[in-house]
Structure formats: structure tokens, C-alpha cells
Amino acid sequence: MNVKLKDKKTLYSLAVVSVLIAGAVFGSYTWYNIDKTISGDSEKQWRLLDTVMAADADPGNGNDGIVNVYIYPLASVSDVDTGPSEATAYEHGDADGFSDGEELQDSTAVGSTYVIILEVQFSDKAYNTTSSDWEPGLVKAEITSSDLSLSSEVMEESTDFYDVDGTSDAKICFYVDNSDSGWTMTTGASITVDDVDIYYYG
């Protein structure tokens, strides 16, 4: 499997492609840098997140950004509620973050049933000052993949934010699991996730 994140004018691109290594089929992921912008409007609406892909995979205190991407076992998808583990993931980003053309660590074997998880840190734009709480309803992500028959599909998300740092920042996961069935890696499979757009309401 191969995942790529390409610069595509405010759109995320992911590609999933299986490869043959040493007589067994495994998967690998590659990420590319992206650029996102926010439209300048004073009225509250869904806005594209101005995200940071930090060099060390840490957006920093009070910032928005992608923390990690995981190709994760379907059986462990409930980990999205407390934070996925790199040890459990088939593949994940490494400690150096997501530099241009960098391949994700580890591999996904043929026959593995997987889901795709995107872990994102939000600044206080996802914090509701009226209710004094972090609200998942203030953020969302949409994914498009013709190969997975997804067209601007609203991704599922963690039941709540976790790793909360006061009102400065908190993390949440967006994921797709094929209606609780996941996808099974097959020999020679080629799957492209065309776009993932991350939004906040503000």
C-alpha cells in the first residue's frame, strides 16, 4: 500500500497502493506536503482548516495540524477515542513528521483488514466558550476516493477530543471504516484516496 499527500490547492490527496516485497505483499505509505488556506469571512460557517504539517509531527502548543496518519487494524478502531498507537498500527508517520516524498513506517500485509485514521490537533477554534467544552460537532473531515466508492464522504470521528491542553489545543481522530467492515489488503491492489478536506465551524 502506498499513501501520498500531494500539494493540490487546498485538497489533501492520499494514495493507497500495495507492493511486493521479498516474496510477500506488504504496504507502504508516502506523504507529500500540502498547502491549505482559509477564506476570510466574518460570518460563522464551515471553513477549511489552515493546517500545519510540522517537521517533527508536532504542531506545537495552541496550533492546528496533522499529528499522524495511521493504517490501522479494523479490530482496534476503537483506539480513536483515546489516541491510536503506532505500535498497533500497520503503518504510521515517523517522528520526523511528513516531509515531501517521505514513506510511512512499517508495512501492511496482504489479508490484513484495515481502516484509515487521520489524527489532527485543533487550536481553540474547536473550543466552545459558551459551553466551556471541546466539541466534536465543531470539526469535520470529508474524504473522496473513487476506488473506495467514497465521494465527499463525511468521515467518522472520535467520540470526544483527547489530550486536552486546557483551552489551547486538543486532538481528535477522523477515520473511515467501510461501514464497520474495513477494507482487506489484496495482492496487487491499487487504491487511491483522492482528497481529504478538514473543516472547522467558525
- CB distance 143 to 195 below 8 Å: yes
Q: Domain residues of the chain, as ranges?
A: 12-201
- CB distance 118 to 175 below 8 Å: yes
pTM of the model: 0.77
> Could you tell me the CA-to-CA distances from 66 to 22, 33, 38, 148, 170 in Å, in that order?
32, 11, 16, 23, 12
Kindly give, in sequence order, each residue whose CB lies less than 8 Å from that of residue 200, ignoring residues fewer than 6 positions away.
46, 47, 49, 122, 125, 126, 138, 139
In tens digits, what is the pLDDT along the chain, a chain of 202 residues? 444 443 333 333 333 433 333 333 334 333 333 333 444 445 788 988 866 555 556 788 998 888 888 889 999 999 999 999 999 999 887 766 554 445 668 888 899 999 999 999 999 999 998 899 999 999 999 988 787 888 999 999 999 999 999 999 999 999 999 999 999 988 876 666 677 788 999 8
- CB distance 49 to 40 below 8 Å: no
- CB distance 95 to 112 below 8 Å: no
> Could you tell me the CA-to-CA distances from 166 to 60, 62, 124, 132, 163 in Å, in that order?
14, 10, 9, 10, 9
